[in-house]
Structure 1
Amino acid sequence: MSTPPSPSIAEPLYGASFGQAIVRFFRKYATFSGRASRSEYWWWQLATTLVYLVLAALALGIGFATGGLNAEGDVFYLSPAFNIGIALAAGWAVVTLIPQIAIAVRRLHDVNLSGWLVLLRLLPSVGDVILLVLTVLPPNPAGARFDKR
């Protein structure tokens, strides 16, 4: 029995695996047209969260390992080496900023909503909650209107 061919990179991949979602994320680095399936979007969210957790643990580990007590011995401080981990996290944020916005736009397209709704993130607190709800909605076939023709 042969496996069905996977859709082209221009189409959403429903039921994407973790690895497929990561590969597609970077292959569609700054692509704002088209659609992204829920699995593509949420696997990427998990991956980037894991990267941030590892970088935070690295920063704290370096900071605590090279930190110490102040001269009076009453306050523990993180060493300046802590900034290495912070710089790595900031670098990751910069490198993934545009594609993070792009995948959110494509996810909104898959629900048949305008990608401009990603600007809801600019609303403190409530914007992220609204965007969260919108990204968990099931795909809408009418979202195909956002595909390149």
Structure 2
Amino acid sequence: MNWYLKVVKDNYTNFKGRARRQEYWMFAFIHLMIAVLLSIIDTVLFGPSNFTLSSLYLLIVLIPGVAVAVRRLHDTSRSGWWVLLALIPVIGVLALIVMMCMDSTPAPNQYGTNPKGIGNQMQPLHP
């Protein structure tokens, strides 16, 4: 739950820097669980075609969700614009999922240092 709160509270609109896989996927998992729970509550309270609570929740979490996705792409040395792949049905979403599953760039990149703390020391090119 701490990973989810970190994204929603601390990094609500932070599109800079890097987010490790654990931060992204823990946020995504908890986000999915909350969305499903609210959909069930909506169905029980308001009927099968009314998604008032879940729609409001998805609207509130839209910006932090995109922000953590952009930071995750930065962690793999990709531009945040790659998040627009999600607009392409099936193939774009699958490609984005693959990118989100890839390991971090071990060294610092143009988006910051490795959030894992591994490889942050600059190594000489030639010994």
Q: Between the two proteins, what is the percent identity of the paired residues?
A: 32
Structure 1: distance between partners of 2:53 and 2:75: 32
Q: Please, which runs of 5 or more residues in structure 1 have no aligned partner?
A: 1-17, 64-77
Question: 1:42 is matched with which residue: 16, 20, 25?
Answer: 25
In the TM superposition, what whole-angstrom CA distance separates every residue of 1:70-119 from its partner, at most 9, and x where no partner exists?
xxxxxxxx48xx63xx1111111111111111100000011111111001
Question: 2:6 is matched with which residue: 24, 27, 51?
Answer: 24
Structure 1: distance between partners of 2:57 and 2:108: 30
Q: Is the 2:73–2:79 contact (alpha carbons within 8 Å) kept by the matching residues of 1? A: yes
Structure 1: distance between partners of 2:18 and 2:112: 7
TM-score (norm 1): 0.69
Matching residue's letter, 2:20: S
Question: 1:134 is matched with which residue: 96, 99, 103?
Answer: 99
Deviating beyond 3 angstroms after TM superposition, the runs of 4 or more aligned structure 1 residues are none
Return the index of the structure with the highest Cα Rg.
1
Q: Which residue of 2 aligns with 1:33?
A: 16
In the TM superposition, what whole-angstrom CA distance separates every residue of 1:21-47 from its partner, at most 9, and x where no partner exists?
112202100110000010000000011
Secondary structure of 1:35's match?
coil
RMSD over equivalenced CA pairs, Å: 1.8
TM-score (norm 2): 0.80
Q: Is the 2:42–2:52 contact (alpha carbons within 8 Å) kept by the matching residues of 1? A: no
Question: 1:125 is matched with which residue: 83, 90, 103?
Answer: 90
In the TM superposition, what whole-angstrom CA distance separates every residue of 1:36-67 from its partner, at most 9, and x where no partner exists?
0100000000111011111111122224xxxx
Structure 2: distance between partners of 1:142 and 1:32: 20
Query: Structure 1 pair 106/143, CA: closer, same or farther in 2 (3 Å)?
Result: farther
Q: How many residues align?
A: 112
Structure 2: distance between partners of 1:62 and 1:24: 31
Q: Is the 1:35–1:143 contact (alpha carbons within 8 Å) kept by the matching residues of 2? A: no
Q: Is the 2:39–2:53 contact (alpha carbons within 8 Å) kept by the matching residues of 1? A: no
Q: How does 1:58-69 map to 2 (within 5 A)?
A: 58-63=41-46
Q: Which residue of 2 aligns with 1:146?
A: 111
